[in-house]
Structures are given as structure tokens and as C-alpha cells.
Amino acid sequence: MNEGKGRFDIMELIKKVLFTDFVKGLVITFGYNVSMDSVITVKYPDEEKWIPYRRFRGLHTLNRTADGRELCVACELCSKACPTRCITVIPMEDNTGRGISDRVAKVWKVDLVRCLFCGYCEDACPTRAVRLGREYELACFDRNCAVKNREELLRPQPVPEEMSGGVVAKARLRTTPDGIEVVADLSETRKRRV
């Protein structure tokens, strides 16, 4: 129609003949290919491990007070709140000072195969005893080992509460007779590349 349009089309044709769009794309991918800094791979499990943020909902932990008494009063609110009914709590009386009250948990176990890690149990807990921690390597060989009981959950988790997370820590893969585990060195961390 008008001359301006015609000239524009000629430019487009020249660009097409010289493969400018292809060349632009090739330049971008070549930039990625030669720069080592753009690699986002986390070398898990051989060299690195991802430490999640504090808001992460992983394996349950049962907390204690500063002087080592169990916070859990076995009120069973967590098991009532649980949508998948995976938490079993059996209370008992104990006035030796194991817990913060006379009522402590005889059994507190969670079936991780059923658990959907929704976090309702930690919302329901009146004493903030149960909390979803940052442990996420939960694979095991049969269903029995997916049931975690009180003693195991009372043990402090490797990533401390104070650490804000969201970093990649140096780690190494350790093979033991019980299986393999990835031990993270929390003192040496780096930000994740995005």
C-alpha cells in the first residue's frame, strides 16, 4: 500500500535471508554453553545438599523446654486435628518431671506413609511441642520404618531452629551398614543460583 510498508517488508526479507533470528538464538545459547556460572545444578548428594527455609514442612519433631523437659502434654489435639489420622498418641501419668505436666505421652508416633505434611498438628498443639522440621530424606525400605516414634522424634534434628535456611550446604555421602545418609556441613554454605 504505502511506501513505508514496502520498505519494512524488504528489511524483513533481508533479516530472514541472513537468518538473524537464528543467529540471535544461537548467541544466547552459546552464552549459556560457555559460562560456568550459569549452571544451577546442586551436586546432591555427593558434594552439596539443599537446606530448606524455616517454613519448610518436613519430618515432625517433638520439642523440649530449655531445661530438657518434654513439652508434649499428650492432649491428643494433634491426632484429632490430623486429616489423615496418622498420629497416634497414648497418654500416661508421670510426675517425675519428664514432661512439663503430670500427663506425658506414652506413645507418640506418626505414620509418614499416610502423613501429608499439612502442618495442622503443629497448629493444634497448645504447647508448641510438635513442629514440622526440615528433615526431608525420608525414603526407607519397608512400611514399618516409615513409622516414627517418640524417641526418634525427640532427638534434635541436624538443622538447628536458629538457622534461617534457603542455602546450599557442603555435604558428603556416607555409606553405613544401615544405609546411606547425606551429612551436611552447615558452616559452609552458598546461595542458590537462579
Partner 1 sequence: MPDTATILTVIAIVVKVVIATMVIFSLPLPLTWIERKVAGHIQVRLGPWRVGPHGLLQPVADTIKLLFKEDIVPAKADKFLFWLAPLMAMVPAFAVFAAIPIGDTVMVPIINQEIALYIADMNVGILYILAIGGLGIYGIILGGWASNSKYALLGGLRSSAQMISYEIAISFAAIGVVMMSNSLSLVEIVRSQNHGIFSWNFFYLPVGPVWFAIFFIGSLAEINRIPFDLPEDEGTLSSGYITEYSGMKFSFFMLAEYVAMVSVSILAVIMFFGGWNSPFPFTIGLPSILADLLALIWFFGKVCFFIYLFMWLRFTLPRYRYDHLMVIGWKILIPLSLVTLLVTGFMRIIG
Q: Which residues bind partner 1 (CB under 8 A)?
A: 22, 25-26, 28-30, 32-34, 38-41, 43, 46
Select 32 or 177, whichever has its Cβ closest to partner 1.
32
C-alpha 89/C-alpha 108 separation (Å) is 5
Phi-psi region of 109 (alpha: psi -120 to 50; beta: other; left: phi over 0): beta
Closer by beta carbon to partner 1, 46 or else 93: 46
Q: Going by C-beta distance under 8 Å and a sequence separation of 6 or more, which residues neighbour residue 178? A: none
CA gap 168, 85 in Å, rounded: 34
Nearer to partner 1, 13 or 90 (CB): 13
Query: Which grid coordinates belong to 7?
Result: 520498505
Please report how close the Cβ of residue 104 comes to partner 1 at its closest, in angstroms: 47
What sign does the CA torsion over 140, 144, 147, 151 have?
negative
Q: Residue 15 belongs to what H/E stretch? A: helix 3-17
The SS3 assignment for 108 reads strand
- Nearer of residues 25 and 126 to partner 1, judged by Cβ: 25
Q: How far is the CB of 140 from partner 1 (least distance, A)?
A: 23
Measured from the CB of residue 139, what is the shortest distance to partner 1 in angstroms? 18
Q: Please report how close the Cβ of residue 29 comes to partner 1 at its closest, in angstroms.
A: 4
Q: Which is nearer to partner 1, 32 or 96 (CB)?
A: 32
CB of 36 to partner 1, least distance (A): 8
